[in-house]
Structures are given as structure tokens and as C-alpha cells.
Amino acid sequence: MEKITLRDIEVGGRKVLVRVDFNVPLDEEAGVITDDSRIRAALPTIKYLIEQRAKVILCSHLGRPKGRVVEKLRLAVVGQHLSQILGHQVVVTRDCIGSEVEKAIEKLEGGDVLLLENIRFHPEEEENDASFAQALARLADLYVNDAFGASHRTHASIVGITKYLPAVAGLLIKKELGVLEGILTNPVHPFVGLVGGAKVSDKISALENILNKVDCLLIGGGMAAALLKAKSYEVGLSVKEDKLDVAGKLIEDADSKGVRLLLPVDVVIADRLGAEAKLETVAIEKIPPDWRIVDIGPLTIKGFAAELEGSKTVFWNGPMGVYEIPRFAQGTQAIARLLAGLDATTIIGGGSTAEVVIEMGLADKMTFVSTGGGASLRFLGGETLPGVEALLDKGAKPGGI
Ligand code: 3PG
Ligand code: MG
């Protein structure tokens, strides 16, 4: 169902609370943003609201502070950066609800922009707590969701708040859904899913759904370690969480659905994490119990390349190893270069995968780089995103709009 967007309603002079996904990577030591693409992606919505003389109240999470104040995860640095690229003053508050915030909002004129403090400093955000959602809703007259990357989360600022304010879609959400829907409704086959990354328990159910769409699934990163372990391989210290039952089921289901599921055949292992670690490349049968997998090996890259070269649509979510450490990034980078050279529709699913592609200067060689990681993965599997679902449908225009 199509959603009402902020262009469909009158916003001038009104207090508009916009949920954005400013969860950007930070160099915490230096206190700088290392990739600002999620901030830039929200600019069309913010600029539109400024032009329309709305009072813009932005709200985001940053990292996973687990419901308490973490100084390094304050949004001041994001506010400063936004102000620079917007060429417009941005007021940043020290909390996201309460009387100080209300006072700051009362001072806003049409066209002003204010950024609330990290919403995840309050545990009630992730609990989707009703009174917290109401406290947020009291700050504004209208709610806009433009946080595509966080729309798979049933949190207070994404879902709860939509009960208490007229809730519409922002321009980034509209664009992401339009592009992903367009590509994924009728993908050209062979369709290859390439999945890595560390958040195994977070992603594994989405992978079950993806089995209904793809012809082949290539698995690297932490995800591969979990699946190898489910197949009874020794993976050393690679797997922290135990989701082995679901991992095993994924392997069985791929088989029964006729989806080829390729796991690494060789891996780079390290005796510890860090730049000074000892490295070796070994077959997956040869991983010692006190080492860990940090990247895919050359034979695996070759095998993945063969699949990718024959594909017509590729969706990639999650790095192939511990790519943050340059010595462990070779597999991820080789895959990125491969995708950039394919004659296929290539979709990059957000977060760290987008970061890699952008950092390597390959973003414009891909068909589409989404700002959502988990969100695009779920969307691709055919799941509805709770944060999108909760927005007003076109045609339904209740009071307050
Ligand atoms: C992301 O980076 O995936 C989104 O901002 C959502 O963050 P989360 O995975 O911590 O919920
Ligand atoms: Mg995430």
C-alpha cells in the first residue's frame, strides 16, 4: 500500500518531528564521522521542510548505548556536521524529551532545525514504551519517518509514536522503497544473494525468507562461521553467539528449495584480532580451536566470483571478514571490485557494506546503494518493515493532517 508522504500534506509553520537514521560510523578517538552518507541521504527531506517553513525537529539513534548516556555517542558531532553541509544552523539538545527540550522547541521559528539527543540513551526507546512515545509525540504536530535504515525496528520513535501523531513517509523512505521494490519485484535471474557481517542472530531469519527469491546464496563473514559450525566444523573463536539450530535449518531449507548455498572453502585465520596478529590461510577443515576466522580465502573468492560472473541480479549485505582491520579486508575488497565490474543489477544493502563500497570509490559503479542494512535485507526477503507499515496509507486522511 502506498504511503502518504510529507509532500502530500501541509507542513508550513508546524512542528514536524522527523525520525532520521544518523547512525553513522565514527572514529571515536578523533571524534569524527568517517562516512556521512546517511546524513546526506536525509538532506532532501530536511531541505524541503526548511523551504516550506516547517519547524524541523530531527531525532535519531547513534550506536547501541543500551539505554544509558554514553558521552562518545552524543549527537553533537552529527549536528555540527549537518549544520556544515546544510549551510544552516542546527540546535542540538542534551536530551530528547523533557522540559529543556520543550523550551528549545518553543523558540523555533518556521525554517529552523533542531536535533534531539541520541534517542537510545533512554531504554524506553527500544522497549517501544508507550509513555515515552507519547512524550516524544508531545513535542510536535506531525511525524515523518525518514529513517529507512532503522525501519525494521519496532521502537518508540519508529512505531510507537505513530499512534499519537499523524505519521507520514519522508523522501528517503519513498526513494528507497521505490527503487528496491522496482528491482526486487521481478528480479532478472540468476539472482545471487551475498551475505556476511557479524550480526548473525539479527539476520538469520531474514535469510530464511531470501531463500524464496534467490537462486544462489554466498555466505562469508561471521555468518559463514556460524554456518560452518552448524555443519560441525571447528571454527575456533569465531562464533560468539549460538544460533546453531537456526543455522542448521537454513542449510536444510536451502537444500529443499533448490538454492545453492556456498560457504567458504578456505579462510584467513588470525591468532588474535588487531594489526599485529599472526595470519594464515587454511582450508576450513584446518582451523585450530584457539584461532579465529577473519576473512575469506583466495579459493573462496574464486568460487564466489564464478557464481557472481554468471548472475544478473546481486544483493550484497555484510562484509566478508573483519574488514575494519585493513589486513583482514582483502576478501571484502575483492568482492566489491568484482561487483563493480559485473554486467548485472547490483544492490548494496546499507551499513558497513555501503561504507566499504563508498570508501573504495565504487558506489557509482553499483546500481543502488541503500542506506539500510538489516532493513533492506528484510525488505528483500518480502517482510514488511514495521516502521513503514505504521505510516498512513494514501487515501486515508484522518484529522490532524
Ligand atoms: C543500522 O545501522 O543498521 C541502523 O541504524 C539500525 O541500527 P541497529 O542495527 O543498531 O538497530
Ligand atoms: Mg543494524
Q: What is the pLDDT along the chain (401 residues), one digit of tens a residue?
A: 799 999 999 999 999 999 999 999 998 788 899 999 999 999 999 999 999 999 999 999 999 999 999 999 999 999 999 999 999 999 999 999 999 999 999 999 999 999 999 999 999 999 999 999 999 999 999 999 999 999 999 999 999 999 999 999 999 999 999 999 988 888 999 999 999 987 777 888 889 889 999 999 999 999 999 999 999 999 998 887 666 778 889 999 999 999 999 999 999 999 998 888 999 999 999 999 999 999 999 999 999 999 999 999 999 999 999 999 999 999 999 999 999 999 999 999 988 899 999 999 999 999 999 999 999 999 988 889 999 999 999 987 666 66
Question: Measured from the CB, is residue 374 less than 6 Å from ligand 1?
Answer: yes
pLDDT at 244: 76
Query: What single-letter amino acid sits at 278?
Result: K
Active site residue 373: no
Question: Measured from the CB, is residue 153 less than 6 Å from ligand 1?
Answer: yes
The CA-based diameter of the chain, rounded to the nearest angstrom, is 65
Rounded Cα gap, residues 80 and 96, in angstroms: 17
Secondary structure letter of residue 273 according to DSSP: S
pLDDT at 241: 63
Active site residue 199: yes
Q: Whose CA is nearest to atom 2 of ligand 1?
A: 351
Atom of ligand 1 nearest to the CA of 373: 3
8 A C-beta contact, residue 32 and residue 26: yes
For residue 190, whether the previous peptide bond is cis, meaning omega lies within 30 degrees of 0, is yes
8 A C-beta contact, residue 110 and residue 116: no
Return the half-sphere exposure (C-beta side, CA atoms, 13 A cut-off) of residue 174. Answer: 17
| CA terminus-to-terminus distance, the chain | 19
From residue 382, how far is each of 112, 210, 372, 385 by CA, in Å? Answer: 38, 8, 15, 9
Angle at 388 between CA 390 and CA 183, to 5 degrees: 155
Question: Measured from the CB, is residue 6 less than 6 Å from ligand 1?
Answer: no
pLDDT at 399: 62
8 A C-beta contact, residue 299 and residue 265: yes
